[in-house]
Amino acid sequence: MSEASRFPTDAGDEVVFVVESNSSRETKAWGRRLASLLRGGELIGLTGELGAGKTCFIKGLARGLRLREEDILSPTFTMIQEHHGRLGLYHIDLYRLEAPSLDDMGLREYLFSDAVAAVEWCERLREANELEMLSIRISYAGASSRRMEFRAGGSRYHALLGELRRRFS
């Protein structure tokens, strides 16, 4: 089965949307674009090795939610940081956890709320494959270029991704 056919598709919409970013500015711009389409309650999962640009993307997302980009930190000890802008934003980083489950640390409350949840190392979550989310995989494509693969799991995210693509590609 091809990757693109893993999720059910509505007519005409792609389930995977791939863009290339050539600077951290561009990565942030994609975060801002996505933020402009969010209504609250979305789960955004970010995947990619250390230094790929997950936090960078979330800085752009924050900016788009009218938060200060500087307030978005790479959490070292804090795994969950809460911000309030146009919508609430929970910035979660699962890097330090081996195989967290939704029942750990109240994660369930953070991931399914009225706020936007942006989760770095989302694939570490035991239930990751069962959750509907917009996942963004960032990989190196050169010193300052990255490939960003947006993938929609579930109809809500399918619509969101379709919108992102229509407006900004």
* Contact call for residue 53 and ligand ADP (CB under 6 A): yes
Query: Residue 137 or 158: which CB sits closer to ligand ADP?
Result: 137
In whole angstroms, the minimum distance from the beta carbon of 52 to Mg ion comes to 8
Contact 155, 20 (CB under 8 A): no
Contact 67, 83 (CB under 8 A): yes
Only segment of 37-45, 46-54, 78-86, 126-134 that touches ligand ADP (CB under 6 A): 46-54
Q: Which of 28, 54, 59, 63 binds Mg ion (CB under 5 A)?
A: 54
Say how many C-beta atoms besides its own lie within 10 A of residue 154's C-beta. Answer: 15
Pick one of Mg ion, ligand ADP, none as the site partner of residue 153 (Cβ within 5 to 8 A by kind).
Answer: none
* Contact call for residue 144 and ligand ADP (CB under 6 A): yes
* Contact call for residue 55 and Mg ion (CB under 5 A): yes
β-pairing, 80-84 vs 145-153, is unpaired
CA angle 167, 53, 146 (to 5 degrees): 65
Please, is 66 exposed, middle or buried when counting C-beta atoms within 10 Å of its C-beta (0-12, 13-18, 19+)? Answer: exposed
- Closest CA relative to residue 133, chosen from 147, 123, 143, 141: 123
Query: Residue 27 or 135: which CB sits closer to ligand ADP?
Result: 27
Only segment of 8-16, 54-62, 84-92, 124-132 that touches ligand ADP (CB under 6 A): 54-62
Contact set with Mg ion (CB under 5 A): 54-55, 74, 120
